Structure 1
Amino acid sequence: MTATAEISRAAVSRDAQAKALAKRNAAERRFRAYGIAAIAFCFLAVFVLFASIISRGYTAFQQSHIALPVTFDAAVIDPDGKRDRTTLFQADYAKLAKNAIYAEVGVDPNNKPLRKKAADLLSRGVDVELRDMVLADPSIIGQTKTVEVTAAGDVDALLKGAIDRKVPEANRQLSDQQLSWIDAMVQKGQISKSFNWTLLTAGASSQPETAGLLVALVGSLYMMLIVVLLAVPFGVAGAVYLEEFAPKNRWTDIIEVNVNNLAAVPSIVYGLLGLAIFINTMGLPRSAPIVGGLVLSLMTLPTIIIATRAALASVPPSIKEAALGVGASKMQTIAHHVLPLAVPGILTGTIIGLVRALGETAPLLMIGMVAFVVDPPKTPLEPATALPIQIYMWATSAERGFTERTGAATIILLLFSFAMNAGAIYLRRRFERRW
């Protein structure tokens, strides 16, 4: 009986162990499934986000143009025949464009309603396009040339499928008469789509078809240069001092705690700080990249200090001890051995900080970088805007055409971010040393 009982107890014990093991294995499988599901959800969310942005913005990289035979009437452009640049600049080029579209669609010049509908097929910036042609080559005055001018935003939206023809005419942006004119010109090959260089070479405009990102690109470039020139050297120097030279006492502990806290401060607080110090106290110009660069430098500085300290701390102590053992000074040890080995981590932290600064909006709003600027700034002291601010302004605009421009600007901002992150990965692998 005793042997039989022991055998039964052993069998029960084995069954219990098997059940416990099966339970642990099931729990492990569930945990793995949760992890895979979480990763899949993240990838799905990123895919949906990018698909939404790209589907909404890729059409902005193409713009519709209308080929029109324009008569550059000397009586309108240069009645004196002196080719004075001021006279050429102030001529009524809109009249030339309107006469060309009237003749093309066959509108009676005395029919004002039809004249307005015909003129609405052209962008309001068509006069600037014709003016630039004349200023670049005054010899075309008096000639009739077929030139491609920008179509109106509604025409462009129709050709891209953003306007539904089935909508009743009273609720549609384009009338039936305008649709018939557009269809006729499309059949004759007068309307075509080409790469929208205006998106990259033009400044602010109230019309979506003539609005561009040039001012925002230049403004962001100036600000990033200022951040690189100020935040990077000061951040690295501060991190080296705190990590290698500063005595370990209460004051350095306070500094370290404050540096860590500053990295978590909301960005709008830095905007308030910049508004109070750089604009109100120091009198720097509002909406200028110099102020935006200074604010973003203050915001990026804690991130660079923390990343640099972590990179310095990751260097094995044996490297320092070996350098000191052969007679190198502490400064030589840091400059010749520690810093070169910490470069990958420093570069990674720096570029992460720069990418964050590139996409900041709140602090720039506080210092007034929402100005309507047509011409790009020549210096960091002139008014400008930035890519995230331009996206914000276009997103809040009521014009339909600015919706796709918002998506296009977001795509460009993401491309800059991806490029900077790719650069960080490359530099990290390029300078990384294994020991």
Structure 2
Amino acid sequence: MSNIKKRLKAERRFKFYGQLGVFLSLLFVMLLMLKIFTTGSGAFFRTTIEADVFFDPNFMPVDKNSSDKEISRASFEALADSVVNNNFKDLNEDQFIKVREMFTRRFDYQLRDYFIDNKDDYKKTVKLKISASSDLDQIVKGNYPRNVPEKQRKINDYQLSILDELNKQERIGSTFNFWFFTNGDSRDPETAGIWGAIMGSFYALMVCLAFAFPIGLLASVYLEEYTKPGKITDLIEVNINNLAAVPSIVFGLLGLGMLIGVFNMPFQVPLVGGLTLGFMTLPTIIIACRSSLRAVPPSIRHGALALGATKTQTTFHHVVPLALPGTLTGTIIGMAQALGETAPLLMVGMVAFVMEIPGGPLDPATGLPSQIYLWSESAERGFIEKTSAGIMLLLLFLILMNLTAVLIRRKVEVKW
């Protein structure tokens, strides 16, 4: 009886240790997620300053009869300066500079964009919510302390007094930061957006899918359905398995040396980044596809051949469609892995500062993980929350892609 009690206690201890391991793993993941979400949630909102804007023709190079193209090319810097002078009276030169620094550097662009959509406000006064500078935004959000010495702050005491006065007048507000989802990268944290990086990753993944999926599918079909067991086949299988375990930066070196060095393809474009990611994803797709083909019962092949179908007809009309759910699942998981890779993109130049939104796979672009890396290396405090917000979006895309893979498998998987 004593031995039985000891064995039962040992079993209960082992079960407890297993549950403790699972609990600690989930706890660490939850703490990491909590840190990322609490830091990054502020990036989805931006601080605004309400100002009375008079579209004074004396400070505008265009009027309401100007075309949108003419307005978009015009400078509204003088109008922005006049707004500051009209809303903050009796400023000397130094005070004017300090107050102007409390607004975003793209103050004039914000006025220009508003005037394009509201030309009837020419020679009128309207109330606009102008975006605040990143330094002021961080003070308002509480991400930067006010009670430190003035020399250690980018916002000086005079600017803090102006901020307190604006708060009393209820002219400090907060609005949803659409710029984060519509703009490209910027040196100014308050105007930096993620859309350029999202489009760069999208084009790179499309190139990766177009390159890796058909080649991986055909290679899997040939190796599984047509080749005979032998030394050459074993060598190919070993190499495919080894390629799946190769560090991603090696594929980046391959893309740099072959695509750019040998074929003279352009630098920092999604085409090269997608092909490099395709090299990395190809072994994953081949392994998943071969496993799916191997899971199809031999009776399917025998039945098709017995009815007079050729080997090719049997393969592509019966075997491949039945193996497609597993193939698609492996492909989506491989694409999700490619989405989160930074090292290969770094080697082929998709980690540069790019403000413009890419319009195709041949336009300069950066990827989503590369954008997160760039923001994490930036010195401005406002990029801290941008980094966490970018991680949140990347995790969201990865979860959606893996969830799609699971749903596809459950929806169309055939159980034998």
Task: Give the match for residue 217 of structure 2.
Answer: 236
Structure 1 residue 55 and structure 2 residue 23: aligned?
A: no
Question: Of residues 59, 69, 72 in structure 2, which corresponds to 1:76?
Answer: 59
Tell me how far apart the structure 2 counterparts of residues 90 and 29 of structure 1 sit (CA, whole Å).
74
1:57-114 CA distance string (max 9 Å, x none) = 01101111122112222222227998377764454423322332333233x24x1221
Summarize deviations over 1:151-173 as a string: whole Å, max 9, x none. 11112112211122222333233
Partners of 2:62 and 2:74 within 8 A in 1? no
Q: What is the number of equivalent residue pairs in this alignment?
A: 416
**Cα deviation 1:286-307 (Å, max 9, x = unaligned):** 1100000110011100000001
Letter in 1 for 2:221: V
Query: Distance between the aligned counterparts of 1:81 and 1:48, measured in 2?
Result: 54
Q: Does structure 1 residue 216 correspond to structure 2 residue 197? A: yes
1:298-377 matched pairs, under 5 angstroms:
298-377=279-358
Which structure would you say has the larger Rg? 1
C-alpha deviations, 1:234-287, integer Å up to 9, x for none?
111111111111122221211111111111111111111111111122111111
CA 90–434 in structure 1, closer or farther in 2 if over 3 Å, else same: closer
Matched, 1:381 2:366: no
Tell me, in whole angstroms, the C-alpha distance in 1 between the residues paired with 2:288 and 2:223. Answer: 12
Q: Distance in 2 between matches of 1:320 and 1:32?
A: 45
Matched residue type, 2:270: P
Give the whole-Å Cα distance in 1 for the aligned partners of 2:177 and 2:68: 29
Question: What residue in structure 2 maps to residue 14 of structure 1?
Answer: none
* Distance in 1 separating the partners of 2:5 and 2:67: 92
Distance 1:100 1:318, change over 3 A: same
Q: CA deviation at 1:139?
A: 4.2
Please tell me whether the aligned partners of residues 203 and 212 of structure 1 are also in contact (alpha carbons under 8 angstroms): yes
Secondary structure class of the residue paired with 1:210: coil
> Aligned AA for 1:43?
L
- Do the aligned partners of 1:77 and 1:87 also contact (CA within 8 Å) in 2? no
Find 1:197's aligned residue among 162, 178, 183.
178
CA distance in 2, matches of 1:387, 1:271: 16
Q: Secondary structure at the match of 1:22?
A: helix
Contact between 1:67 and 1:190, CA under 8 Å: does it hold in 2? Answer: yes
Aligned to 1:226: 207
Moved more, 397-406 or 314-323: 314-323
| Cα separation, 2, equivalents of 1:76 and 1:82 | 16
CA distance in 2, matches of 1:242, 1:256: 9
Is 1:183 the equivalent of 2:158?
A: no
Q: Deviations over 1:375-416 (max 9, x none)?
A: 111121110111000000000000000000000011001110
Q: Is the 8 A contact 1:387 1:413 kept in 2?
A: yes
Counting aligned pairs with the same residue, the percent is 45
1:159/1:330 CA distance change after superposition, 3 Å: same
After TM superposition, give the deviation of residue 336 of structure 1 in Å. 2.9
Amino acid in structure 2 at the alignment position of 1:276:
G
Structure 1 gap segments, 5+ residues each: 1-17
| Alpha-carbon distance in 2 for matches of 1:377, 1:92 | 25
* 1:127 aligns with one of 76, 92, 108: 108
Q: Comparing 274-283 with 90-99, which one deviates more in the overlay?
A: 90-99
* CA–CA distance in structure 1, aligned partners of residues 63 and 197 of structure 2: 40
| Alignment partner of 1:392 is 2:373 | yes
The question of 1:256 aligning with 2:217 is answered no
Quick one: which of 162, 165, 187 aligns to 2:146? 165
Residue among 128, 131, 135 paired with 1:150:
131
Separation of aligned partners in 2, 1:235 and 1:89 = 48
Shift of the 208–324 alpha-carbon distance from structure 1 to 2, 3 Å rule, reads: same
Alpha-carbon shift at residue 203 of structure 1 (Å): 0.9
Question: CA offset at residue 115 of structure 1?
Answer: 1.1
Q: Which moved more, 1:303-312 or 1:95-104?
A: 95-104
Distance 1:421 1:101 in 2: 50
Displacement of 1:211 in angstroms is 0.4
TM-score (norm 2): 0.95
Q: Which moved more, 1:159-168 or 1:381-390?
A: 159-168
Q: Which moved more, 1:413-422 or 1:339-348?
A: 339-348
> Is residue 303–residue 349 contact of structure 1 (8 Å, CA) maintained in 2?
yes
The code of the aligned residue for 1:324 comes to L
Verify the 8 A CA contact 1:102 1:118 in the aligned structure 2.
Answer: no
Q: 2:410 matched to 1:429?
A: yes
In the TM superposition, residue 137 of structure 1 has moved relative to its aligned partner by 4.4
Partner of 1:180: helix, strand, or coil?
A: helix
Distance 1:123 1:152 in 2: 4
- The letter of the residue matching 2:374 is M
Where does the alignment leave 5 or more consecutive residues of structure 2 unmatched?
Answer: none
Deviation at 1:358, TM superposition (A): 0.2
RMSD: 1.9
| TM-score, normalised relative to structure 1 | 0.91
Among 16, 37, 53, the alignment partner of 1:33 is 16
1:42 aligns with 2:25: yes
Counterpart residue type for residue 134 of structure 2: G
| Aligned residues of 1:319 and 1:337 also touching (Cα < 8 A) | yes
| Alignment partners' CA distance in 1, 2:274 and 2:401 | 18
SS in 1 for 2:261: helix
**Aligned-partner Cα distance in 1 for 2:51–2:5:** 79
SS at match of 1:281: coil
Q: Distance in 1 between matches of 2:192 and 2:63?
A: 34
